[in-house]
Amino acid sequence: MAKPLILVSNDDGITSRGIKKLVELMKQLGEVIVVAPDSPQSGMGHAITVGDTLRIKENRLFGEEVRSYECSGTPADCVKLAKHHILKDRKPDLVVSGINHGSNSSISVLYSGTMSAAIEAAIEGTPAIGYSLCDYDPDAEMDHVDEYLLKVAQEVLDKGIPKGIALNVNFPASQSQKIKGIKVCRQANARWEEDFDQRVDPNGRKYFWMVGNFVNHDKGEDNDEWAIANNYVSVVPCQFDLTGHHAIRVLNDEWDI
């Protein structure tokens, strides 16, 4: 029986510790092919390259048994190039993205390059997972995620997920207590409250640096922020259809159109 074909990507770049860990774990489940950005692409969201060249180069960063390619584009570009050029007539059984260095819970899913790689795969009809560790330290401890990362991936391979869905999985940072388990939950009602710090460069020219705080307005216990804060792995099913279905009837009833 052929092994599942697993495509691995990320947004922290192909040399990050997170993707190295993800590749090592996915090798336990199937045949792995890597297509990832050649430089960090955090916060790129679902950007694609339309006004510039795209370049890919094969490498051996993950050993001789793993086909690996670095791409000059965004995470979404990587998944597109993998499908249409590198894999050609082969379709992955699973696309995984990460492990991201930093949380992608709540509203951050909209800005996340990690999740955009997964959502791009979902658009193409392929089961997909984005994995993130809620610790921004590039040298953060990751070994505590292994069991749960493999569990989610194996469940998807064995049982599938609804078409058009990508799973947003966030792991709590390493701590003395063992992770309590996995919670399938909703996205929390939280947002970034940004400010722009005006500064001056060495040449006397003004520039701005975005700063801000993450504010959680959600008091529920069924959301990803609650799960992570209480030492659970959060799993949020995400979709690319952004239609506000509940608003269609309101607009039709109240607008004079």
12 is in an annotated binding site: yes
Is 100 marked as a binding-site residue?
yes
- Return the CA Rg of the chain: 19
Is 42 annotated to bind a ligand? Reply is: yes
Q: Is 231 labelled as part of a ligand binding site? A: no
Q: Which residues are annotated as a binding site?
A: 11-12, 42, 100
In the annotated binding site for a divalent metal cation, the residues are 11-12, 42, 100
